[in-house]
Amino acid sequence: MPKKTFPALFHLYRQGFIQSQDVHIFGYARTAISDHDLRSRIRGYLTPCKGFEETHEEDVAQFLRLIKYVSGAYDKEEGFRLLDKAISEYELSKNSTEGSSRRLFYLALPPSVYPPVCKMIRSYCMNKSDLGGWTRIVVEKPFGRDLASAEELSAQIGELFDEPQIYRIDHYLGKELVQNLMVLRFANRFFLPLWNRDNISNIQIVFREDFGTDGRGGYFDQYGIIRDIIQNHLLQVLCLVAMEKPVSLKPEHVRDEKVKVLQSVLPIEDNEVVLGQYEGYTDDPTVPDNSNTPTFATMVLRIHNERWEGVPFIMKAGKALNSRKAEIRVQFKDVPGDIYKCQKQGRNEFVIRLQPSEAMYMKLTVKQPGLEMTTAQSELDLSYGQRYQETIIPEAYERLILDTIRGDQQHFVRRDELKAAWEIFTPLLHRIDRGEMKPLPYKPGSRGPEEADKLAQKAGYVQTHGYIWIPPTL
């Protein structure tokens, strides 16, 4: 993931979170290239940081000097010995003191090579015992294809590293508005009594893209929209929306509550799932003509506990749709005794726009200005682009890489959390893989299959007509 990781490291460097005297960056892969070649490739990904445009080129030059490259196989001793030698030489050149051998390995690799790479790191590249310090491993999704493969992968890595050393990264947990969810829920008095089945009718968690697989058809077809987006990104969001207040903000206390939510999710019913595949998907030469892989899915998850019994969580994700956005939409129940006869205009909704145009707004009913007593839908709006114009909002990878350096695992997926997530989705995924459930065709640029809107309506979602939220202009 050089397009994400190196810009994140550069921005952390430019803002002073990592120092040139403390950090050195080593690239390792099979391709035989020079330090200069790697630096040239990375340079094109490094865009100016907000507020530091004038010194950009100087900053880039200084940052690139921190990068070295070692070539080697993923399963051979020789290459990892060379990597260890290069790291050790750097540590000695800095007159490293006790506790200063801190080694962070970011595995931007296919999951199939995680076990051999981890074995090589464990055998040849651990931090030097005479310097103390730590070794940490960052692995990216997908963490397996189902419960069995995820557990096998976890067991193989777990034999080599302790759980506190393993950081399973899901970049959605680094997004600014996702990080705000716990603050909103647990630091605001007026949300506390409302956030339950007595007041909330349904909750939608939505991910929409207005483009297709764009050259990634072969990769995407191995996983599909559920494995790629819903089972990880959207499920992580659901945990933060639905969890109980943790005892403290210690990472393990937070992750304990997330696991409890996942363990309370009921099995997914086939009649509460709509799958879709956009027309033209199989035209990609890397996709099989008879592919059953969904590029769209809407499903209802139900949480069997005191707070959420009876509240449907409607999960939506799709490619080649009519818009690009990710948001959480909390829809409240109708007002009892509606004296203004305005229910048909729409319900109160609390909307958290994760991307783009980060915002949160409360959709509510107000009096239409004028002499007549008529009502209309409007909003109380906090749009980040307007409210925080001078604030640098970090990219998700910046925040998460900094957390790994600091040793904070709150925003990373724990092994039992990963297992609980796969337990929810594996039966459904196996039915799809066996061809027992078929995706419905839909036109690119549409909302997806009409059946998906019908499912949401059946689950209790009431669509607002005649109201569109418009992001404020600066």
Rounded Cα distance between 444 and 430, Å, is: 26
Phi-psi group of 261: left, alpha or beta (phi > 0 → left; psi -120 to 50 → alpha; rest → beta): alpha
Strands in 349-355's sheet, in edge-to-edge order, are 375-383, 359-367, 349-355, 325-332, 200-208, 312-318, 296-302, 273-278, 440-442
Q: How far apart are CA 71 and CA 81, in angstroms?
A: 11
233 is catalytic: yes
Residues 6+ apart with CB under 8 A from 368: 374, 375, 376
Class of residue 197 by CB neighbours under 10 A (exposed 0-12, middle 13-18, buried 19+): middle
Q: How many separate helices (H) and strands (E) can be counted in the chain?
A: 16, 14
Q: Which of 385, 339, 389 is nearest to 365 (CA)?
A: 339
Beta strands 200-208 and 325-332 are antiparallel
343: its two tokens: 């229910």
Q: 377 near 466, Cβ under 8 Å? A: yes
User: Beta-carbon neighbour count of residue 372 at 10 Å?
Assistant: 7
The verdict on whether omega for the bond into residue 441 sits within 30 degrees of 0, i.e. cis, is no
Catalytic residue among 36, 56, 171, 233: 233
Q: What is the dihedral of CA 283, 285, 288, 291, to 10 degrees?
A: -40
Q: Taking a C-beta distance cutoff of 8 angstroms, is the pair 411, 167 a contact?
A: no
For strands 296-302 and 325-332, give the pairing. unpaired
Is the CB of residue 203 less than 8 Å from the CB of residue 313? yes
Distance CA 404, CA 5 (A): 13
Residues with a known catalytic role: 233
